[in-house]
Amino acid sequence: MRLIFMGTPDFAVPTLDALVAAGHELAAVYSQPPRPAGRGKALTPTPVARRAAELGLTVLTPVTLKTAEAQAEFAAFGADAAIVAAYGLILPRPILAAPRLGCLNVHASLLPRWRGAAPIQRAILAGDTLTGVTIMDMEAGLDTGPMRATVTTPVAARTAGELTAELALLGAQLMVAVLADLPGHPPQPQPDAGVTYAAKIDKAEARLDFAAGAVAAERQVRAFTPAPGAFFELNGERIRILAAAVEPVAGPAGQVGDDRLLIGCGADSLRPLRVQRAGRAAMAVDELLRGFAIAPGTMLA
C-alpha cells in the first residue's frame, strides 16, 4: 500500500519500521516540529523524524494541519491510508477523509477504556491488571472510532517505560497484520459501556501522596517512571523514587519509619528500592543513605 505515517515519540518508531519492513510504500512521514532539548536547548527532531530521515523518507513537521495549504499538501500524496501512532496533533476532517481507506490508529489501551493522551500511565495508576493495543479507524471524536483488532498483555509490576516498549512492538505487529488482511479485520463499533478517559499527565501528579496508601504510591512510582518521575521533597530538594515495594507495616503518612527509608502510608508503608537526587545518577537506597542520612521520624513532603 501507499501510506502516510504520522507519529512523534519512541512509541511510534517500531510501527514505522514494521511498515517499511513489510514492503509498504511510505509516501511521507509526519511528525511534530523539533523542540528545544538538552542543556543547550538546541532544536531536536522527534524520534520518528530522526528514524524517518535515517530511512531516507520524506519528513514533514507542520505546526498545524488546520490550514487549507497543509490539507492540500497531505491530500496530494494520494495515500491509500494514513497510519497514526501517538502523533500528538488533532486531525481535522479533511485530513481524516483524504486517504482512500481513511486513517488507522495504533492506540495503547483496550478501547473503550482509556481513550485519550496517557492510557499507559492511567492504567497503572488505576491498578488495571490487563492493558494492550487497539487498532482503530479514526474519526472526529477522541479515540471513538470503530475497532479492527486488539492484543492484550498483563500490566503486572511493570513501569510505564517497560509497558510502553512492549506495547510499541505489539502495536507494530498488529498494524502490519491488519493491513495485510483488511477484509479479515472489519471495523466493529466500540461498546458504550466501559468508557474511561486518560487525561494528559500533570507534573503535579508525580508528587507522592503517602496519605493515599502504599499501594497507590507504588503505582505512582511505576506510572511515572521514567518520566516525569514520582518524587518527595526533603529540605527543599526533590528526590525521585524509581522503584519501590509495599510493606505491611503501619506508619504515619510521610514519616520515615526506619534507617532504610521505610515511608509510612497509614495502614502500610512504602519501601523505596532505587532513587535519584536532582542532577545525579540513579542509585540504590543504601547508597543514597551513606552520604545523605534521613533519620527515622523525619517527615517527608
- pTM of the complete model: 0.95
Average pLDDT over the chain reads 96
Beta partners for 26? 3
| Per-residue pLDDT at 42 exceeds 90 | no
Is there a contact between 172 and 18 (Cβ–Cβ < 8 Å)? yes
Beta partners for 240? 231, 276
What is residue 70's DSSP assignment?
H
**DSSP per position, 182-247:** STTS--BPPPSTT--EEPPPPGGGGB--GGG-HHHHHHHHHHTTTTT--EEEETTEEEEEEEEEEE
In the chain, the amino acid numbered 257 is G
Summarised one tens digit per residue, pLDDT across range 49-94 is 999 999 999 999 999 999 999 999 999 999 999 999 999 999 999 9
Q: What average pLDDT does the segment 139-152 reach? A: 96
- For residues 40 and 192, the model is more confident at 192
User: Helix or strand or coil: residue 159?
Assistant: coil
